[in-house]
Structure 1
Amino acid sequence: MEVGVGGGTTLSELYQNSKKLLLRTRDGLERLERLESSSSNAVDSPELSFSIKRDINQIQSLCLDMDRLWRSVASKPQRDLWKRKVEQVTEEVESLKESLDRYLLRIQKRTQEAKERAELLERRGGDSAHILQIFDDENRAMQSAKNSSRMLEDAYNTGVAILSKYSEQREHLKSQWLVCTSTRSSTLDRMQWINKSILTKNG
């Protein structure tokens, strides 16, 4: 005679239900791992993760019921057999739970790393903007220096042109002065010669 829990569910039925749930849970975990390996980013399927977690909780609940029932089996050989079966299911569901926990931990870690990378890129973007601002300031300073140098060069060239003009005017004035001096000297010499000639005739 097979014992059962409230509602008439037998140990065999509980065991069969737990095995079906174990199969579905393993399949769900494999799907999660394939999804994880197919992407370089932190990709999660919340619906699938929740479904797997729910199945694991249900299996654990079934294990508690089966653990109470196998102890009530009258036949020792049957009792020992059910004990091993229930322990096997318990070990399998614990292994699946650990696999799910590791998966969720990896997703959490990769999500955190992605967040930190995004924050780092944002900070680097701010630093880059600051560096670009510095470059812009330096470029403006260099351009201002070039403009100042060009202004000084223009002023120098203007000064040279003015001095050159003054020099040309000076040479022209000097030439005019020399002409005037030469003419005056020649006129004085001529006047002295005329006076001398007149004096000679009168004497």
Structure 2
Amino acid sequence: MEGGGGTLSEIHQTARKLLLKTRDGLERLERLEYSNSSSSSSDLSFAVSKDITQIQSLCVEMNRISRSIAAKSQRDLWNRKVEQIAEEAESLRESLDKYNSRNQNRMTEAKERAELLGRANGNSSHVLRIYDEEAQAMQSVRSSARELENANALGETILSSIHGQRERLKSAQRKALDVLNTVGISNRVLRLIERRNCVDQWIKYAGMILTIIFLFAFVLWRR
């Protein structure tokens, strides 16, 4: 039960550690949600998104390896373990998306307030620039997260395609062996038929010769 990144147990342990790290990152994000550390929250949000994508990739790898387990009971057990981790990762992804949505709404509201204040006192360029920078940072985080998700989806598609091709090659190999076995049997049957035909020919010729000798002897005896 080994894959390119280690045994199934090792990959599962790595995924569990990443889950704990991601939960801790989300808790830190929630603590920073109403603080002024926009740069720290943007970097942390990107790191959390990257960890979630890595967990999902590990789930794909574990699914691939678990298919090679011969015992159905063990295979089902690992499938349940992988499914549990995948569900937790998806839950973390949803929590992160909700956080990003709240943060974006909060920045939009703050920008609108700054614009209103700017109209009142005519000096809001600095405030607006700060909120624009925050909005750009969050947009960059969301774009990077989407790219990671797309890369992960592409990896899943490639792995699934490779597995499908391998199964098709195995099926073709089995069919080829069946054909070869059938041809071998057919050749043996043909050889048996040829030998039988040869024996039948000899019997026919021997019968003809015996019949001629019998007739010749009968004619001589009548004389």
Judge same fold: TM > 0.5, yes or no.
Answer: yes
**Alignment-derived partner of residue 142 in structure 2:** none
Structure 1 gap ranges (5+): 127-203
**Alignment-derived partner of residue 10 in structure 2:** 13
**Alignment-derived partner of residue 46 in structure 2:** 50
**Alignment-derived partner of residue 121 in structure 1:** 117
Distance 2:95 2:63 in 1: 23
Mapping 1:103-118, distance limit 5 Å: 103-118=99-114
**Alignment-derived partner of residue 70 in structure 1:** 66
TM (normalized to structure 1)? Answer: 0.56
The answer to whether residue 67 in structure 2 is matched with residue 98 in structure 1 is no
RMSD across aligned C-alpha pairs, in angstroms?
1.7
Shift of 1:42: 8.4
The answer to whether residue 35 in structure 2 is matched with residue 35 in structure 1 is no
Structure 2 gap ranges (5+): 123-223
Amino acid at match of 2:121: G
TM (normalized to structure 2)? Answer: 0.51
Distance 1:61 1:115 in 2: 37
Is the CA contact (8 Å cut-off) linking 1:21 and 1:55 kept in structure 2?
yes
Distance 2:17 2:4 in 1: 21
Q: Deviations over 1:94-153 (max 9, x none)?
A: 000111111111111100110011011112335xxxxxxxxxxxxxxxxxxxxxxxxxxx
Is the CA contact (8 Å cut-off) linking 2:33 and 2:41 kept in structure 1?
no
Amino acid at match of 2:58: L
> Which ranges of 4 or more aligned residues in structure 1 deviate by more than 2 Å?
41-44
Q: Give the total of aligned pairs.
A: 121
> Which secondary structure does the structure 2 equivalent of 1:18 belong to?
helix
**Alignment-derived partner of residue 149 in structure 1:** none
Distance 2:20 2:30 in 1: 16
Structure with bigger gyration radius:
1
Identify the match of residue 4 of structure 1 among 2, 5, 11: 2
